[in-house]
Chains A and B, each alone.
Chain A
Amino acid sequence: MTLDRRTFLAGSAAASIAATIAGRAMAQGATIDVASIHDLSGIFDAYGKPMEKAMQLAIDEINAAGGLAGKQVKEISYDTQSQIPLYTQFGQQAALKDKVAVVMGGILSASREAIRPTLKRFNTLYFYNTQYEGGVCDRNIFCTGVAPSQSVEALIPYAMSRWGKKVYILAADYNYGQIISKWVQHYVKLNGGQTLQVDFFPLDVSDFGATIAKIQAAKPDFVVSALVGGAHMSFYRQWAAAGMKAKIPMASTTLGVGNEQIVLTKEEGDGILLAYNWSAEIDTPANKKFLAAWGKKFGADSVKEIHELAVATYQGMMLWAAAVKKAGTPDRMKVIEALETGMSIEGPGGKITVDPKTHHCTLDVVVIEVKDQKLTVVKQIPQVPPLDTQAVCDLKANPNSNIQYEIKI
């Protein structure tokens, strides 16, 4: 995009476009503004609401410690209402009107892919703090959540060793589900297993009766669910209602990310295997401090709302803050360069380190079993690098790269 053309255009709109494009004019306000763009209502609100709280907590802590580069940090929050087009719109507003230093946000991969081009076009730094399918290769974005080579890589062999080799995959029908289901197939094959069938479901499907019958006809050893959002919750209910819990076990790449285990009953959730970066049960000082701070700010009841994505958001915000401190300025390029030195912080989920080549993170992984509406850790794997994206992406060599790689199987 050549957006530095036609600066001779008069008029205030044209002038302000020119100003935006010429580069973010720094040091305008008394605060450093940060945009939070999450789904705070609609069918993805279970993911978004705690992420927004995590932003608030992180900013409080940053400001309490004296702010950044001599200024307080101010949050500008947008609710995208679980509607993907609103990401584009709010992304534009954050970049052009609010002129924020960084955008933290995006939940579904679809929302990330909607907002990523906008923020790149308007030179606004972007942090995507969600576990996702991996492969994004773009110097303007940092991805702080777990990727398949971290979560799926841990989950599938563990589940296969417990239950068997034949797998039936259910996935949400958009880029996340499409790609993660390939990773699942990849790791199933790698461990000598067999994928019987992959079924995709649009996010508004809530009746899984026929599917449950189909799964039984296929007779898998276990089911892997990559279902997403409020409507897909009914799958777990219907699965349990049909009495399937005792018959076919299940692993999931998404359950628990929105704290589904506390919305589902014990009978519906128990025994499902998961793998993420964080569980409330991780016994480290950083995690204890984080839980205590959250409880203090939002009330003790609210602690159970914390989930994987909230923790990733908190860690993403803290990583950015550390980089601003190091660079001494919130200027986009300087912050990117600081992060690319391989910065790390100690977060509730353990040590998290930026991988300079991919802008993804090396982090700890825990395999989890749902028990009594809690995420019980059954296995810990320290410091797993983002091998999937590393295999295809090198931003040091190709800083202008701007695509999402997909695994071929």
Chain B
Amino acid sequence: MTSGLSERNRHLLVLAIGLVLLVGLPWVVDVVTLLELTIYIVYALFALSLGFIWGHGGILCFGQAAFFGLGAYTYAVAAINVGESSGPFLLAILLPAAFAALLGAMMFYGRLSDVYLGVITLVVALILFKFVNSTANETYVIGDARLGGFNGIPGFPTLNWPGDAGSPLMPDEMFYLAMGLLIAVYFGLHGLLRSRFGRIVVAIRENETRAELLGYDVRLYKTAVFAIGGGIAGLAGVLFANWGNFVSPGVFGLAQSATAIIWVIVGGLGTLIGPIVGAVLIQFLTTLLGQQSVVNNAFVLGAILVLVVLLLPKGLMPTLGQLLSRGRRK
């Protein structure tokens, strides 16, 4: 990594910006904007989950929404049954992580890679979508919660202060929580990547054969990375569910997985800040485009994706980093 700032300073800068946004934003914007920003953060977290497994683990997952959706649905179902939100919150992270571990083990121990991995992840997300989408019948219940099929699940208890089911989080508190979690996950992943585990994961991305010949069980490491990514996607799903107080099968949809890939590729592979920047930028653009009807949204996003692949194959943030450091040297 080359950049004008030293690595340490760069992370301090990210932390500072993060904290300023965390504390400052609720003071300067109105509630609707704050709600809008909360969803950006949720998406950033989702992007980060894919950015980690793809950019650092070398696993391109075409069905990351499977874990996002699983997190959202697990939370909704568990919250209806439990009421108090702490248990459901944890369960909705652990279950997608466990599911990712299982799926990952199946794929990596079967030595699937590249396109085949892409197809399987895509298909698994599709299966989940089709299944959940066809659970409108009243026989599909888990405890007190009806899965609801196409309707989705509305009106489940939203997150509350831990231990106190009677005090749900207000929109501004939701913002603090989401932003705080994003910062925590970012630095958590950062620390992980500096650890022995993380360095081996990166080594596997660089050269799987060599890592194996050095005695690292690539299958195990990849499965672990995939599970971590699944857990983070699940966390993003929980926040998403709480944001709208509504989940529907669309959370498993192809579009959800696809947008995440666009965020990551636009923001830049191999960095942690890239996916976050990509998600926020693209979502901001989507919102802007949503307010006019001359140019179609998908048209612009598609054009951006094509142009980024052709002209900025490394994505925004790494390219920016290179430009900065080149500027410095001159």
Do A's and B's CB atoms come within 8 Å in the complex?
yes
Within 8 Å of chain B (Cβ to Cβ): is A96? yes
Interface residues of A, CB < 8 Å — how many? 40
B170 touches A110 (CB 8 A): no
Is A117 on the interface with B (CB-CB < 8 A)? Answer: yes
Report the interface size for chain B: residues with CB under 8 A from the other chain.
35
B150-168 at interface with A (beta carbon < 8 Å): 150-152, 154-155, 166-168
A113:B154 contact, CB within 8 angstroms: yes
Q: Which residues of B contact A6 (CB under 8 A)?
A: 170
Q: Which of A170-178, A261-269, A291-299, A311-319 contacts B (4 or more CB under 8 A)?
A: A170-178
Contacts of B170 in A (CB 8 A): 3, 5-6, 9, 14, 17
Q: For A85, give its contact among B26, B148, B172, B246 (CB under 8 Å).
A: B246
Bitwise interface map of B from 122 to 161 toward A, beta carbon under 8 Å scored 1, else 0: 0000000010011011100000000011111011000000
Given the known inter-chain contacts A110-B152, A174-B151, A175-B151, please indicate yes or no for A85 contacting B248, CB distance below 8 A.
yes
Answer yes or no: A216 CB below 8 A from chain B CBs: no
Query: Which residues from 1 to 37 on chain A have a C-beta closer than 8 Å to any C-beta of chain B?
Result: 1-3, 5-6, 9-14, 16-17, 20
A303 within 8 A of B: no
- Give residues of chain A (358-409) contacting chain B, Cβ–Cβ below 8 Å: 406
Please measure, in the bound complex, the distance between the C-alpha atom of A11 and the C-alpha atom of B248, giving whole angstroms: 33
Asked if A202 and B150 sit within 8 Å, CB to CB, the answer is: yes
Inter-chain CB contacts under 8 Å: number = 114
Chain A nearest CB: distance from B329 CB in Å? Answer: 44
A14–B173 Cα distance when bound, in Å, is: 9
Does A288 count as interface, using CB distance less than 8 angstroms? no
Residues of the B chain whose Cβ atoms lie less than 8 Å from the Cβ of A13: 26-27, 29-31, 33-34, 171-172, 175
Tell me the minimal C-beta distance from B132 to chain A in angstroms: 10
Which chain A residues border B155 with CB–CB below 8 Å? Answer: 117
The 8 closest A-B pairs by CB, nearest first: A174-B150, A117-B155, A110-B151, A97-B32, A88-B244, A11-B27, A13-B34, A13-B31
Apart from A6-B170, A173-B133, what 8 extra A-B contacts exist at CB < 8 Å? A2-B168, A3-B170, A13-B172, A14-B170, A16-B30, A85-B152, A85-B246, A175-B151
User: Hey, which bits of chain B sit against chain A, CB under 8 A?
Assistant: 26-35, 130, 133-134, 136-138, 148-152, 154-155, 166-168, 170-172, 175, 244-246, 248, 250
17 contacts between A and B (CB under 8 A): A2-B168, A3-B170, A5-B167, A10-B27, A13-B33, A16-B30, A17-B171, A84-B151, A97-B32, A109-B151, A110-B152, A117-B155, A118-B245, A173-B149, A174-B149, A175-B148, A406-B138
